[in-house]
Amino acid sequence: MELDRKTRLSLSFHHWVFVALLLVLAGLLLAVSRTYHANWDISLNARNSLSTGSSEFLKKLSGPVSITAYASPKSEVAKPIRDFLTPYQRAKPDIKLSFVDPSEQPQLARAAGIQMTGELVVEYGKRSEHLTTLNESSLTNLLMRLARDKERLVMYLDGHGERKLDGQANFDLGEFGAQLVKRGFKVAPLKLTLAQDVPGNAAMLVIAGPRVDLLPAEVDKLKNYLKRGGNLLWLIDQEPLHGLQPIAEQLGLVLTPGTVIDPEAQQMNASATMAIGAAYARHALIGNLDLMTVFPFARQIGVAENHGDWRASNLVEVAQRGWIERDALDKPVAFDKNKDTPGPVNIAVALERSVDNKTQRVVVIGSGGFLANQFLGNGGNQDLGINTINWLAGDDTLITIQPRATRDANLNLSRTATTVIAVGFLVVLPLALLATGGLIWWRRRKL
């Protein structure tokens, strides 16, 4: 059918209008893409995205971060560095990355103390540190250290069989102490039999289950420390207080005897003496923690109604369907309504007050073992412990879920397995396909 001139002009007009609208739409999409960005991480374990802990921390970190990579921007190590830092730059756009080629500017590399190609120098504020391991935990912990205005000294009571922050035994707290060091804290023991008093430069004191009685003079030094406004983390085990009863009275603590029994732990194939923490208070110390925590041989911690000028907050409830067992644990336990106390049971409290225009903070937790080497890796135990230390040190902005190590998703094959796979896919499979095709062709030819 032949079209007249008017119809051809109309069709041509519609065609060019469509082209113009398509170009306008493409331009709008380009403008929107430059303004708004969306990313989806579909990799295993979201390995190309930051953990919640790192993301929350970067939101709280004010001010720019400068990272200098000592490598050629065109070298093989440059791309892994850029890829590693890209999620950080998405979460915090004022993280700036620059490259310095040590072969072209050796004087700058020497001045910075560079030991290897690809080494990073991270600067924040007026402080800087070197980074040689490209993983999220290392960089986030480094930024946390730089974010502290000064090094915090964490002292732990020693000399009475306490759990040590540098000890390697199962009941010690050495692994937790190592995590504190990674985050910019300094850990040191304190023997009150030798020291005149708790040092004034200590950010806090940790008391973790003494197993022999303290001398009256040592207890007096602890009472004076609290009276002056010192911060304290007290991990109370099931054993007697070994001379620390005056400290409990000074804080207004109510320590109910007995061991928490939690049937929910038995459902997880654990001992009933493992109290499972899943109900947390709305408190700055807790932050956004929503991980399960485990408290072995826990005891109830309460605060008297008239406890002076302290502001008390319950932190963790356990044993929603459990109880406080008053009898010995050397035989099967069962709830006795005449002696035992039904749950839920609070096992941790935070105390806060003002002393000489300074905020004093105390945390008491009724399980000395929840931060022990044997149990630190369970659920959110480490996260709760680090949050507690940050809160006691006054570093509220650093309270968050801690960054997780990236799960190893690499597939390591032996040389034999690699050879078999290569021969199978590159030789056997193509030959099988050719043979099958030839057989089909030969059969069809005979028809």
Split into its structural domains, the chain has a count of 2
Asked, for residue 133, whether it belongs to a domain, the answer is yes
84 shares its domain with 155: no
Give the dihedral of Cα atoms 183, 292, 346, 271; nearest 10 deg: -110
Q: What is the pLDDT at residue 317? A: 93
In which band, very low, low, confident or very high, does the pLDDT at 27 lie, cut at 50, 70 and 90? confident
Q: What is the pLDDT at residue 332? A: 80
378 shares its domain with 250: yes
3 state DSSP class of 348:
strand
Res. 413: pLDDT tops 70: no
Q: What is the mean pLDDT of residues 149-166?
A: 89
Express each pLDDT in 315-329 by its tens digit.
999 988 888 988 888
Q: What is the pLDDT at residue 398? A: 72
Asked, for residue 189, whether it belongs to a domain, the answer is yes
In which band, very low, low, confident or very high, does the pLDDT at 43 lie, cut at 50, 70 and 90? low
Q: What is the pLDDT at residue 401? A: 58
Res. 42: pLDDT tops 60: no
Asked, for residue 418, whether it belongs to a domain, the answer is no
* CB-based contact 67:95 (threshold 8 Å): yes
Q: What is the pLDDT at residue 2? A: 61
189 shares its domain with 88: no
Res. 40: pLDDT tops 80: no
DSSP string, 281-342: -S-TTTTT--S-EEEET---EEE-S--TT-EEEEEEEE-TT-EEE-S-SSS-----TTT-EE
Asked, for residue 139, whether it belongs to a domain, the answer is yes
131 shares its domain with 76: yes
331 shares its domain with 296: yes
Res. 58: pLDDT tops 60: yes
In which band, very low, low, confident or very high, does the pLDDT at 30 lie, cut at 50, 70 and 90? confident
Q: What is the pLDDT at residue 379? A: 84
227 shares its domain with 192: yes
Q: What is the pLDDT at residue 46? A: 54
Higher pLDDT, 192 or 404: 192
Which residues form the domain of 118?
Answer: 44-145
In this structure, what CATH number is given to the domain that contains residue 288?
3.40.50
Asked, for residue 436, whether it belongs to a domain, the answer is no
132 shares its domain with 170: no
141 shares its domain with 157: no
The b-or-e profile of 215-235 (16+ CB within 10 A means b, else e) is eeebbebbeebbeeebbbbbb
Res. 112: pLDDT tops 90: no
Q: What is the pLDDT at residue 231? A: 95
Res. 409: pLDDT tops 60: no
Cα–Cα distance between 161 and 211 in angstroms, integer?
A: 5
Q: What is the mean pLDDT of residues 353-379?
A: 91
60 shares its domain with 108: yes
- Which residue type does 413 have? L
In which band, very low, low, confident or very high, does the pLDDT at 313 lie, cut at 50, 70 and 90? very high
Q: What is the pLDDT at residue 411? A: 58
Q: What is the pLDDT at residue 308? A: 76
